[in-house]
Each structure stands twice: as C-alpha cells, then as structure tokens.
Structure 1
Amino acid sequence: MFGLGAGEIAIIVVLAVILWGPDKLPELARKTARLIHFLRQVANNAQVTVRNELGPGFEDFDITDPKGSVRRYVMKQGGLDGVEDLVQTLRDATAEIDEAAADIRRSIDIDGDGVISPEEAKAAGLEVPGAPFDTEAT
C-alpha cells in the first residue's frame, strides 16, 4: 500500500495513536476516507466533463494521457490507423539494414580490431582516398 512495508505502517499507527489518541483516531480515519472518496469523485467528474466537452470520438479519452487520447482521435479521423504498422515495418527494415551493415563491416575487418584499416579496405576491393592533408606542409 503506497510502497509502505508493515514496519512503516506500524510506526505510523503508533504515532497517530500518540498524537491524536485512541478516542479521536476512528473519527480521523472516517474523515480521511471521506476526503479520498471526494477526491476520487472530483477526478471522475472532471474526466466525464472533459469527455462530454470534447464530443464524439473521445469516448476513450484518458485524463492521465491526454496526448495519447488526442493522437488516437486524429489517427482515426485522418484514416491513419495503419501508420503504427507502417512505422513498425520501417523499424524492422532499419534493423535488418543495420545488421547487414554490421555483417559487411565484420567481413572487411580482417584482424577483428573493430577498425577497418586502409589495407583491409583495399583487400576488400574498396577505393581508399589519398591522405587528407599534405604531409610535406607540416
């Protein structure tokens, strides 16, 4: 309950009995329960009011995730229901391309040090550009 263990709850109960006394503690518990009930009603009423104000299409509106609810609505209205499937397909294709590129790198890297040297690139038939700077100028 609220991430509290049995020991912490026992300490809270003992402190409550010491602070308010055993005769006032039941009334305090009732008031706390009424407060929690009231706050839940306020939250539920707020969610119902927001759903009613937004109108049709927002029946599944979740007040804890308004951005997701609006996104789902826009996707349905725009006929974009399949976009998530398309995004997943693109992610899968990107993963396959990355895996193929890693396989190519591993096949070129003869000594297995993770770095493709110019000699390894030439052995693989790749064109290696010349020096990036003039060695005589330094």
Structure 2
Amino acid sequence: MFGINGGELLILLLVAAVVVGPERLPSYAEQLAGWVRRLRDLARDTKERVDVELGEADVDWAALDPRRYDPRRIVREALLDDAPPHTPSRPAVPRPGRVRTAAAAAPAGAFAGPVAAAADAPAPFDDEAT
C-alpha cells in the first residue's frame, strides 16, 4: 500500500498520535471509523445495484479481469469464427521449364523483391509475433 511497509506505517501512526495529541485523538479515531463505515456501505450498495441491473445471474468477475485480456487470442478467435476455411482454387504446381521470377510476377511499378510463396498458398503465420 503506497510503498510503505509495516515498520514505516507504525512510525507514521506514532508521529500522528504525538502531533494530534491525546485530547483530540479519540475524536479523530471516531471520524476515521465513520469514514470506513460509509465506504463499506457505499461498496455494498454499489454491488447490490450491479446485481439488480444485471439480474439474478451470477457474474463471473474473474473473466472480466483486464489482466486476462489477450488481444492476439481475441483477434484470432474473431477472425477464425466467421472466415470459411482456405481452399485454393487450383494446386500451386510449377510448370516444367518455366521459372517464376519477381519481375514476371509483379506488375510494372510494383515491388520487385523475391517471390516467397506460390500465389495460392496462404501467407506464413507466426503466432509468437507481436
């Protein structure tokens, strides 16, 4: 909590007790207890409102934890659910005697780099890439 360990918290409470003094300390402790009670009531009321708004169904709060959010998995599932499986229209079999070069494959003005795969083959996928 705020980067304070137990010993430091004890020293801070001792300094606060000395600064406040014994005559005002009970009234401040009473105010602190009232604030804690109000905060507890506010949390309980908020939970009751959420339960009323969402209905009587149990909410799996652990599933809504942002630490469990994996954007790669969510995008992968969203893309794979709706997309039909990839079926090439014809097999990518090179013709004997013909070599496909980058210059022959690309239109004029396009990138003239090496051809990595056949035109009908799916693009390589690296699931470790971010």
TM-score interval, normalised by the smaller of the two chains: 0.3 to 0.5
How does the TM-score come out when normalised to structure 1?
Answer: 0.39
Larger RCO (alpha carbons 8 Å, 6+ apart): 2
Structure with bigger helix share is: 1
How does the TM-score come out when normalised to structure 2?
Answer: 0.41
